[in-house]
């Protein structure tokens, strides 16, 4: 019980200045639970009596007709209660997020190795998994398409090609001072969330379904389950307290799991949990799109790009999923931080008989920007210049040379000052000279260094997704409960939203609790994606909290005989002229006086318009910037390498929570480094993904983090009216480790005395590094 029960304490000694609740480093709202192992993930929810467990029976073929699916042995296996196929689905057999080409369970034809064909429901997780392997399936092979190159050659796409042209690229290429062209290979990436996909469905009275699901998009899960059952949305409730990571992999692809669990729960009228093991998860779910690029570039003596043409082909997999908006973002990030006067970009989403690729941190942005960085890296070596100088020569200007190929004017450009600050703090010039000196004396070990910039557009590139809602409840004891449409995946969204609410109400963060995302609370939510979680939900929660504060201010003003504008809320006190009242006291009095103490809030991002056909408009509210400097050492005999030091400077605007934002930058850096170096997806000639476990798929570990890892936030308030002038930080820093890749390439180039562009593919595995070293030796006439 709070002892301060006297109304309107007269204590003018309390400091009048305000105590901000945002812009300060605070631990993640669940950090104490994470470390104690008491944070509840979907699989930790105490199971309801009678819970059954599901497992998926998967295709062994990349492309085949299902002649017969023999399930007798599955049905007879110990513990099996039911086996369900597509024929059991009462509604629509589709869980595609945009285009409806995504079967929940295969009918007649299978389109990739791992595609779910049936659901086994058993009394235990183990029994279900064992039984799922016992099917006798007769396939009639169909010809598979296994690479994006093959899909492109066959003109086989999941969506119509996209084209963006500005100026006269063909003419300017022909007239260019220098030319270069080439082919770039860039691999995909498994999300490798620590908590795998999972859904737990329980039937509710009167044809209802409650689904707990590890998902970034509860509303879409609600709709997918409703369509699958032939129900209305209001019959389905989807709830997610937190995910153990999503990274884009649970934006759309949690749907198949939610649908299969709900199908079984509906059919058997009992709770059913579906939790694939890691191998099955990796075999079934889509990943970051791998891309190939063919480019043709013209540039002047300083390396300024005069014209560039690029053809991008992505591996969409067997269905569209989010491949369209991913390609759009790739096209809209081919410029990265550079002004491209004459440009032509053609994007093709190759249809392949592999997993349907999906969102992954950056959402095509990293792929598009990687291509232009590769091109500039080539150009610099072609003219014998420091690649940093070439990059600088091409940066967007301020007030001029500042319109993107898609027509948005870059109004918040800070890349010049950000790079200057990083060049100084990382001692780039001196260290670059030192790598050259080292390499001159070191025949086998070669050092390399690189600086790369980031400019990343913030907003969903589908305009209507840029909306959010929130509910704020102030209970009559002065404690506060917040619910919003975003989901928590470890990124600290709930912490930021709670801070925003605490700030708005002038109370301490300890008073505020955030609850599970729940489709029955805030309706029609967007995915927590495109890094917009805090921007959108923070604003919506602020809107709700502000309405409550205004009502409380009116009430306090009447009581104190002042105007509402004179009321201040600060540090758990309400201040009205000379009067000081604890927040909870004011709340109690307001409750007695019948003031509404809860509110909804809503937000839509202003200024956006986008013509998807013409690829023109203002798809982004603002840009986030960053840059990193990485130094590596490469063993040119074994292909082993080590990141010696990395310096990153990142623009999170006026950071809501610097500790969390620095964590996001560090995590994104290491994750992006894994993508570009050690993480290699490999399908065998029959189209089976062989890298479906950590034994063969190498994500980075703490050992890969350099000893000198200097991550700082660039001081820079958002020019747009974002939540407290902060900037989204989830995805943009994933592009920072481009500097690691180009440092490796710089080290390899030393083998040929910097005269040859190493044909280094990404990921730069040891194998890829050795291939590039050999190619450089051959081209430069250096003995191996």
Place of tokens 């900037």: 727
Among 57, 114, 490, 759, binds ligand MTE (CB under 6 A): 490
The reply to whether 248 sits near ligand MTE by the rule CB under 6 A is yes
- The residue among 578, 584, 587, 599 whose CA lies nearest residue 555 is 587
Place of tokens 């200007």: 397
610 contacts ligand LUZ (rule: CB under 6 A): no
- Sheet of strand 573-576, all strands in order from the earlier edge strand to the far edge: 567-570, 573-576, 579-582
Which of 236, 345, 501, 529: binder of ligand LUZ (CB under 6 A)? 529
Helices (H), 252-406: 255-268, 278-284, 323-331, 365-382, 387-394
Which of ligand MTE, ligand LUZ, ligand MOS, none interacts with 147 (beta carbon under 5 to 8 A by kind)? none
**Binding range to ligand LUZ, per CB under 6 A, among 125-133, 525-533, 722-730, 752-760:** 525-533
Q: How many helices (H) and strands (E) does the chain have?
A: 19, 29
Residue closer to ligand LUZ, measured from CB, 57 or 365: 365
Q: Kindly list the residues in this chain that would bind ligand MOS in the complex (CB under 6 A).
A: 216, 248, 251, 359-361, 363, 529-530, 731
What DSSP character marks residue 206? T
Q: How far apart, in whole angstroms, are the C-alpha atoms of residue 748 and residue 762?
A: 14
Which one of 158, 264, 462, 471 is in contact with ligand LUZ (CB under 6 A)? 462
Per CB under 6 A, 104 contacts ligand LUZ: no
1-9, 130-138, 432-440, 525-533 -> range binding ligand MTE (CB under 6 A): 525-533
Residues near ligand MTE (CB under 6 A), total: 21
CA distance linking residue 654 with residue 648, whole number of Å: 17
Given the complex with ligand MOS, which of 330 and 629 has the nearer CB atom?
A: 330
In the complex, least distance from residue 717 CB atom to ligand MOS, rounded to whole angstroms:
24
538 binds, among ligand MOS, ligand MTE, ligand LUZ, none (CB under 5 to 8 A by kind): none
157 binds ligand LUZ (CB under 6 A): no
Select from ligand LUZ, ligand MTE, ligand MOS, none the partner in contact with residue 490, using the beta carbon and a kind-dependent cut-off of 5 to 8 Å. Answer: ligand MTE
Among residues 417, 731, 767, 774, the one annotated as catalytic is 731
Report if residue 531 touches ligand MTE, rule: CB under 6 A: yes
Q: Does residue 685 contact residue 679 with C-beta atoms inside 8 Å?
A: no
Residue 584 as a binder of ligand MTE (CB under 6 A): the answer is: no
Which of 148, 169, 196, 246 touches ligand MTE by CB under 6 A? Answer: 246
Coil, helix or strand at residue 51:
coil
- Name the phi and psi angles at 181, rounded to 5: -150, 160
As measured in angstroms, the least distance from the Cβ of 412 to ligand LUZ is 18
CA distance 402 to 714: 21
533 binds, among ligand MTE, ligand MOS, ligand LUZ, none (CB under 5 to 8 A by kind): ligand MTE
- Interaction partner, residue 493 (ligand MTE, ligand MOS, ligand LUZ, none; CB < 5-8 Å by kind): ligand MTE
C-beta of residue 683 within 8 angstroms of C-beta of residue 144? no
- Around Cβ 311, how many Cβ atoms within 10 Å? 18
Rounded to the nearest angstrom, the gap between the alpha carbon of residue 612 and the centroid of all alpha carbons in its chain is 21
Q: Which is nearer to ligand LUZ, 182 or 617 (CB)?
A: 617
Q: Which residues pair with 272 in a beta bridge?
A: 52, 201
Question: Which does residue 460 bind out of ligand LUZ, ligand MOS, ligand MTE, none, counting CB within 5 to 8 angstroms by kind?
Answer: ligand LUZ
* Cβ–Cβ < 8 Å for 81, 121: yes
Tokens of 336: 């990265």
What SS3 state is found at 163? strand
Q: 3-class DSSP state for residue 199? A: strand
The backbone torsions φ and ψ at residue 271, rounded to the nearest 5 degrees and listed phi first, read: -65, 135
SS3 content of the chain, % helix, strand, coil (to 5): 30, 25, 45
Of the pair 459, 765, the CB lying nearest ligand MTE is at 459
Q: Using the rule CB under 6 A, which residue among 80, 120, 151, 529 binds ligand MTE? A: 529
With binding defined as CB under 6 A, does residue 519 bind ligand MTE?
Answer: no
Q: Which of 166, 267, 309, 361 binds ligand MTE (CB under 6 A)?
A: 361
Residue 603, helix vs strand vs coil? strand
- Residue 731 catalytic? yes
Active site residue ranges: 731
Please report, as ranges, the residues that interact with ligand LUZ according to CB under 6 A.
Answer: 251, 322, 325, 329, 359, 363, 460-462, 527, 529-530
């Amino acid at each position: 019980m709070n002892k301060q029960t006297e109304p309107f304490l007269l204590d003018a000694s309390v400091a009048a200045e305000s105590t901000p609740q945002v812009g300060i480093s605070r631990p993640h709202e669940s950090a104490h639970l994470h470390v104690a192992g008491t944070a509840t993930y979907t699989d930790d929810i105490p199971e309801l009596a009678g819970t059954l467990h599901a497992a998926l029976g998967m295709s062994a073929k990349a492309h085949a007709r299902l002649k017969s699916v023999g399930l007798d042995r599955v049905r007879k296996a110990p513990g099996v209660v039911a086996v369900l196929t597509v024929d059991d689905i009462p509604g629509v057999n589709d869980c595609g997020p945009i285009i409806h080409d995504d079967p929940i369970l295969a009918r007649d034809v299978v389109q990739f190795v791992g595609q779910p064909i049936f659901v086994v429901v058993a009394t235990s997780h183990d029994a279900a998994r064992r039984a799922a392997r016992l099917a006798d399936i007769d396939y009639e092979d169909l010809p598979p398409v296994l690479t994006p190159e093959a899909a492109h050659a066959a003109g086989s796409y999941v969506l119509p090609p996209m084209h963006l042209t500005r100026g006269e690229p063909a003419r300017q290429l022909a007239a260019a001072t220098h030319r270069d062209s080439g082919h770039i290979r860039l691999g995909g990436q498994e999300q490798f969330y620590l908590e795998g996909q999972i859904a737990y469905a329980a039937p509710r009275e009167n044809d209802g379904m409650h689904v707990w699901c590890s998902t970034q998009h509860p509303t879409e899960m609600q709709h997918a389950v409703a369509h699958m059952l032939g129900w209305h949305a209001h019959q389905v409730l989807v709830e997610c307290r937190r995910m153990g990571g999503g990274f884009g992999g649970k934006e759309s692809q949690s749907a198949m799991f939610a649908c299969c669990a709900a199908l079984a729960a509906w059919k058997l009228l009992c709770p059913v949990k579906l939790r694939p093991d890691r191998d099955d998860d990796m075999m079934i779910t889509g990943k970051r799109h791998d891309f190939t690029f063919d480019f043709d570039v013209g540039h002047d003596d300083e390396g300024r790009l005069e014209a560039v043409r690029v053809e991008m082909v992505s591996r969409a997999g067997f269905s569209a999923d989010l491949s369209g908006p991913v390609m759009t973002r790739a096209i809209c990030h081919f410029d990265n931080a550079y002004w491209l006067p004459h440009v032509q970009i053609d994007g093709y989403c190759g249809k392949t008989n592999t997993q349907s690729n999906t969102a992954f941190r950056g959402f095509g942005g990293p792929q598009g920007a990687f291509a232009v960085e590769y091109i500039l890296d080539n150009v610099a070596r072609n003219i014998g210049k420091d690649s940093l100088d070439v990059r600088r020569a091409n940066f967007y200007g301020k007030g001029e040379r500042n319109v993107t190929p898609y027509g948005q004017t870059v109004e918040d450009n800070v890349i010049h000052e950000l790079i200057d600050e990083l060049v100084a703090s990382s001692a780039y010039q001196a260290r670059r000279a030192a790598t050259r000196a080292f390499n001159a004396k070191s025949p086998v070990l070669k050092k390399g260094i690189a600086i790369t910039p980031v400019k990343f557009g913030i907003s969903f590139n589908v305009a209507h997704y840029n909306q959010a809602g929130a509910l704020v409840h102030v209970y009559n004891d002065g404690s506060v409960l917040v619910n919003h449409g975003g989901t928590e995946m470890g990124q600290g969204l709930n912490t930021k939203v709670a801070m925003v609410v605490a700030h708005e109400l002038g109370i301490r963060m300890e008073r505020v609790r955030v609850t599970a995302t729940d489709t029955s609370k805030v309706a029609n939510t967007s995915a927590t994606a495109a890094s917009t979680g805090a921007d959108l939900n923070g604003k919506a929660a602020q809107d709700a909290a502000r309405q409550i504060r205004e009502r409380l201010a009116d009430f306090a003003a009447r009581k104190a005989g002042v105007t509402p504008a004179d009321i201040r809320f600060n540090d758990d006190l309400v201040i009205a002229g000379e009067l000081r009242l604890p927040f909870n006291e004011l709340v109690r009095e307001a409750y007695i006086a019948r003031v509404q103490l809860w509110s909804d809030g809503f937000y839509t991002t202003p200024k956006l318009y986008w013509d998807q056909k013409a690829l023109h408009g203002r798809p982004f509210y603002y840009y986030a910037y960053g840059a990193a400097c990485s130094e590596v050492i490469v063993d040119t005999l074994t292909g082993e390498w080590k990141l010696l030091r990395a310096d990153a400077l990142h623009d999170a605007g006026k950071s809501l929570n610097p500790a969390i934002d620095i964590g996001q930058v560090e995590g994104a850096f290491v994750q992006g480094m894994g993508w570009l170096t050690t993480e290699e997806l490999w399908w065998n000639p029959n189209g089976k993904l062989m890298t479906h476990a950590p034994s063969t798929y190498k994500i980075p570990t703490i050992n890969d983090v350099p000893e000198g890892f200097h991550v700082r936030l660039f001081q820079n308030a958002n020019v747009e009216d974002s939540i407290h002038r902060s900037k989204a930080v989830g995805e943009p820093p994933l592009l920072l480790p481009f500097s690691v890749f180009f440092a490796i390439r710089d080290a390899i180039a030393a083998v040929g005395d910097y005269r040859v562009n190493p044909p280094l593919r990404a990921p730069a595995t040891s194998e890829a590094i050795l291939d590039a070293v050999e190619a450089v030796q051959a081209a430069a006439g250096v003995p191996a």
